[in-house]
Amino acid sequence: MKSRIFSEIKQEFDLPNVTYFDNAATTFCPNVVVNSLVDYHKNYKANIHRGIHRLAEKATEEYEGVRSKVKNLLNAKRDSEIIFTSGTTHSINLIALGLCSKWGSNDSIIVPESEHHANLLPWINVAEKYEINFHKINVIKDGSLDLAQLEEVLDECPGRILFSIAHVNNTVGNVQPIKELFKLVKEYEGITVLDAAQSISKEIIDVEDLDADFVAFSAHKLYGPTGVGVLYGKQKYLEKIEPVFWGGDMISSVSWDTIRVNQLPWKLEAGTPNIGGVIAMGSAIDWFKSYDIEDIKVHNKLVNANMQMMLNDLDFIESFHPNYYKAGLISFNVKGCHPSDVAQLLEAQNIAVRSGYLCAQPIVEEKFINGIVRASWACYNDKDDIEKLKKGLIACYEKLS
């Protein structure tokens, strides 16, 4: 890891001409990532693991090389603990369908009520299907969990336990005290699942330190391409996952009598994967790691503070949370204005934000009825962007109030 000049980071992107505050949805790719994707498709596009020609060998080498990059990023033990998926949603569904399909009415799945649909619906689905107990844990105003309720629920769970939580919440941006929460779950021998979709580009994720049994994230929220992501799993848990998809590359031998599945990680990667996407994700990780994560955290804190100050300055803004640190996003409403109107008028001023229920409808609708406006930043957002957002919000209020 080397320290680089953060203020020059924009030069590494060909950013579109828009003030972009929708980075929690997806981040732009630096040129080096785009180039690596193009390089694969132009210069060595071949299928992996099969051909014995030069292109296939190069593609396989590049693709498999990304496992070590992800392993190092997460401080995992083995390359075989890294499964390439299409993204966070795929990763979480893989655990739910591959692991919990053998569970039943003695077992329990626990999630906070504030989760993104990607970390909610896969669990509700298997809980209903296999009659697994499903518990949702209340969140309090600042986004933190009701710990007393969590302990109570854990106390009452008779059989196996799985606890899944987003590291950084996608609606209010608070960072959950994962280490502490997982330690508690481990006292009950529960399986711990970390949805790192929002945190992968903002926080240090060390699976050993956090005691995470599974971690899911998407490349496109880490300056990589869409359609590719990761499921990390501790070997002993990954081995319990039954393949959900069957087909090429996930088998070691097939006869009419017997199908022998391949070893990890390939047994969970049926079919031709997103080869170019995985390779570009590798470039995104290299690029990301060329910055010191501590510098990135300092930049986040700075944008967070400037954003909060800007919103505090505007008396027509309703900010929903106290001044705690928000990792990359802040949600608010403009008094008396519908969030969708605000987003639409900001769009008319070339400013991109997100509005609505933010893929967390149950909790957002319960607390805010019409939804919220979310501004989310990345490493390339600066003070000028915040100033533009401020002017944009003033114009919205003048028109809509």
Partner 1 sequence: MKNSVEDSILKIKNDLELFDDNMDKYDYIIEYGDKLLELESEYQTPQYLVLGCQSKLWIKGFGTNTLQFKAYSEAKIVRGLVAIILDIFNGKTKEEILETDPKILNSLGINGLLTPGRQNGVGNLISKIYEIANKRTDN
Q: Give the SS3 label for residue 235.
A: helix
Cβ distance to partner 1 smaller for residue 254 or 348 = 348
Find the part of the chain contacting partner 1 (CB under 8 A) among 21-29, 78-86, 241-249, 333-341. 333-341
Quick one: 16 exposed, middle or buried, by C-beta within 10 A (0-12, 13-18, 19+)? exposed
Q: Using CB under 8 A, pick the residue from 355, 375, 379, 393 that binds partner 1.
A: 355
Query: Going along 152-289, which residue ranges are E strands?
Result: 161-166, 191-195, 214-218, 229-233, 251-254, 259-261
Cβ distance to partner 1 smaller for residue 121 or 400 = 400
259/251 Cα distance (integer angstroms)? 7
| Cα-to-chain-centroid distance, residue 348 | 29
Cβ distance to partner 1 smaller for residue 208 or 398 = 398
Tokens describing residue 58: 């190069």
- CA–CA distance from 123 to each of 118, 165, 187, 326, 381 (Å)? 9, 11, 22, 26, 35
219/197 Cα distance (integer angstroms)? 9
Judge whether 157 counts as a catalytic residue: no
Q: Using CB under 8 A, pick the residue from 345, 360, 375, 386 that binds partner 1.
A: 345
Which residues fall within 8 angstroms of residue 26, CB to CB, at 6 or more apart? 220, 221, 226
Considering the complex, what minimum distance in angstroms separates the CB of residue 357 from partner 1? 8
Work out whether 388 is an interface residue with partner 1 (CB under 8 A): no
Cβ distance to partner 1 smaller for residue 39 or 341 = 341
Cβ distance to partner 1 smaller for residue 152 or 398 = 398
Considering the complex, what minimum distance in angstroms separates the CB of residue 340 from partner 1? 4
Tokens describing residue 109: 């799945």
Q: Which stretches within 133-270 are classed as H helix? A: 147-156, 178-187, 207-210, 235-238
Work out whether 337 is an interface residue with partner 1 (CB under 8 A): yes
Of these residues, 157, 359, 379, 396, which one is catalytic? 359
Considering the complex, what minimum distance in angstroms separates the CB of residue 330 from partner 1? 19
**54-74 vs 275-289: helix axis angle to the nearest 10?**
40
Number of residues located near partner 1, criterion CB under 8 A: 18
220/29 Cα distance (integer angstroms)? 8
Cβ distance to partner 1 smaller for residue 29 or 337 = 337
Considering the complex, what minimum distance in angstroms separates the CB of residue 355 from partner 1? 6
Binders of partner 1 among residues 78 to 117 (CB under 8 A) are none
Work out whether 20 is an interface residue with partner 1 (CB under 8 A): no
Cβ distance to partner 1 smaller for residue 30 or 392 = 392
Q: Using CB under 8 A, pick the residue from 57, 318, 347, 382 that binds partner 1.
A: 347
Considering the complex, what minimum distance in angstroms separates the CB of residue 396 from partner 1? 10
Work out whether 318 is an interface residue with partner 1 (CB under 8 A): no
Work out whether 24 is an interface residue with partner 1 (CB under 8 A): no
Find the part of the chain contacting partner 1 (CB under 8 A) among 156-164, 266-274, 335-343, 372-380. 335-343
Quick one: 61 exposed, middle or buried, by C-beta within 10 A (0-12, 13-18, 19+)? exposed
Cβ distance to partner 1 smaller for residue 20 or 287 = 20
Binders of partner 1 among residues 358 to 377 (CB under 8 A) are 370-371
Work out whether 395 is an interface residue with partner 1 (CB under 8 A): yes
193/184 Cα distance (integer angstroms)? 13
Work out whether 348 is an interface residue with partner 1 (CB under 8 A): yes
- Residue 193 carries which side chain, given as an amino acid letter? V
Work out whether 243 is an interface residue with partner 1 (CB under 8 A): no
Which residues fall within 8 angstroms of residue 11, CB to CB, at 6 or more apart? none
Q: Give the SS3 label for residue 35.
A: helix
How many residues comprise the chain? 401
Find the part of the chain contacting partner 1 (CB under 8 A) among 31-39, 63-71, 252-260, 340-348. 340-348
Q: Which residues bind partner 1 (CB under 8 A)?
A: 337-341, 343-345, 347-349, 355-356, 370-371, 395, 399-400
Which residues are marked as active site?
A: 359
